[in-house]
Amino acid sequence: MTKPVAVIGAGLVGAGWAIVFARAGYPVRIYDGDAGIRADVLAGIQSNLEDLQSFGLIESAEVARGEITVCETLDDAVDGVSYVQESVFETIPVKTEITAALDAACSPDVVIGSSSSGIPASAFTEALEGRQRCLIAHPVNPPYLVPLVELVPAPWTDPAAIQFAFDLMTAVGQSPIQITREVDGFVLNRLQGALLNEAWALFEEGYASAEDIDKTVSEGLGLRWSFMGPFQTIDLNAPGGVADYAARLAPLYHTVAQSRTEPKPWGDDLIHDVEAERRTHLSKQDLASRREWRDRRLMALAAHKNKSSKEIGD
């Protein structure tokens, strides 16, 4: 029988993780420190599971829902589990406290992964007796629709713990990558940050509207990026592959990089101007329904990718 996993923190990301494990047939124990969240979390999960079923992404919302139990205490949630996915607030004091509680409550062979978006595991696990079983398992939101998981060790993380998390993530249908050591923003947010910083700068300098910068990705770069990354993209964009591409265009990219040697913070006036433009396209009260639209688009994309990888191959 598949051993249960625990999800600690049942907000946006924790609830999403519960779906990831449950749809793969793992019993899931959820715990959140907020009684209101504990009372409400299953209703949200149920609705997401029904959406997944309607897009043909799971066979039965009911079966997946049946794998999930909400626990009233941390100890109940971690009893007998093989893995814990911590998804609480992103601050060092909160991560430190919960990870110490988990280290005390879990038997020594249990691996503890944190969803931390940017705080490295070394910032909140150093003093723990079981620090070698702690690591970052950073998902993308919502994790049940975007499969990438960044696995990041602290300097003292046991490679066997990383391997365990890698195998578990693969078994539940996620796409893990292994980052060799800690770096601010890990890989995903460093790549996203490079693009975002350039987008803010181009907008500030008046080269294009926010809408046209967005369109450059949604109607341009992003279409390829949903099935291949930047290295494969350029490998295919020159007759002789990546080295040929570099021979032709490396000087251009170097000139572009040299034009941004002094990065600026995103200033208040700049944020105000981008906010003002965005609100002409989408009112604040429509943000929530637009998020639901985004998730349905992601479900349609996931269904398409499943189908096309069978028909066309990966």
Nearer to ligand NAD (CB atom), residue 152 or residue 234 = 152
Among 5, 13, 42, 112, indicate the residue that binds ligand NAD (CB under 6 A): 13
Reading the block at residue 162, the tokens are: 């990383």
CB atoms within 10 A of CB 255: 9
| 8 is an interface residue for ligand NAD by CB under 6 A | yes
DSSP code at position 4: P
Which residue pairs from 224-231 have beta carbons closer than 8 angstroms and sit at least 24 positions apart in sequence?
A: 226/301, 226/305, 227/305
Q: Which of 191, 192, 136 is nearest to 169 (CA)?
A: 136
Q: Contact letters (x/-) for ligand NAD, 141-180, by CB under 6 A?
A: x---------------------------------------
Binding flag, residue 299, ligand NAD (CB under 6 A): no
30 makes contact with ligand NAD (CB under 6 A) = no
* 91 CB-contact burial (10 Å; exposed 0-12 / middle 13-18 / buried 19+): exposed
**Closest distance between ligand NAD and the C-beta of residue 207, in Å?**
28
Draw the binding track, 180-219, toward ligand NAD (x: CB under 6 A; -: no contact): ----------------------------------------
Q: Closest approach of Cβ 219 to ligand NAD, in Å?
A: 24
For residues 1 and 131, is the Cβ–Cβ distance under 8 A? no
What is the closest distance, in whole angstroms, from the C-beta atom of residue 8 to ligand NAD in the complex?
Answer: 6
Which among 134-142, 207-215, 284-292, 303-311 is the span making contact with ligand NAD, rule CB under 6 A?
134-142
Whether the Cβ atoms of residue 5 and residue 26 lie closer than 8 Å to each other: yes
Concatenated DSSP letters of 154-188: -TT--HHHHHHHHHHHHHTT-EEEE-SS--TTTTH
Contact predicate 127/102, CB 8 Å? no
Query: What tokens does 189 get?
Result: 């947010």
In this chain, which stretch among 30-38, 51-59, 159-167, 229-237 interacts with ligand NAD, using CB under 6 A?
30-38
Instruction: Give least dist CB 150 to ligand NAD, A.
Output: 9
**Residue owning tokens 């940017």:** 118
The residue behind tokens 């002789």 is: 240
Nearest position to ligand NAD, beta carbon? 11
Q: Which stretch binds ligand NAD (CB under 6 A): 2-10, 168-176, 195-203, 299-307?
A: 2-10
Region of 28-36, 47-55, 153-161, 255-263 interacting with ligand NAD (CB under 6 A): 28-36
Query: Other C-beta atoms within 10 Å of 39: how many?
Result: 11
Q: What residues between 99 and 118 interact with ligand NAD by CB under 6 A?
A: 115-117
Should residue 44 be labelled a site residue for ligand NAD when binding is judged by CB under 6 A? no
Rounded CA-CA distance 30/145 in Å is: 19
Give 85's strand partners: 7, 113
Q: How far apart are CA 87 and CA 7, in angstroms?
A: 7
Return left, alpha or beta for 9; rule: phi > 0 is left, psi -120 to 50 is alpha, else beta.
left
What's the closest the beta carbon of residue 247 comes to ligand NAD, in angstroms?
38
Figure out which of the listed residues 18, 37, 145, 162 binds ligand NAD, where binding follows CB under 6 A.
37
Of the two residues 85 and 157, which places its CB atom closer to ligand NAD in the complex? 85
Choose the binding region for ligand NAD from 60-68, 84-92, 178-186, 255-263 (rule: CB under 6 A).
84-92
Residues in the site for ligand NAD, rule: CB under 6 A? 8-14, 32-34, 37, 87-90, 94, 98, 115-117, 138-139, 141
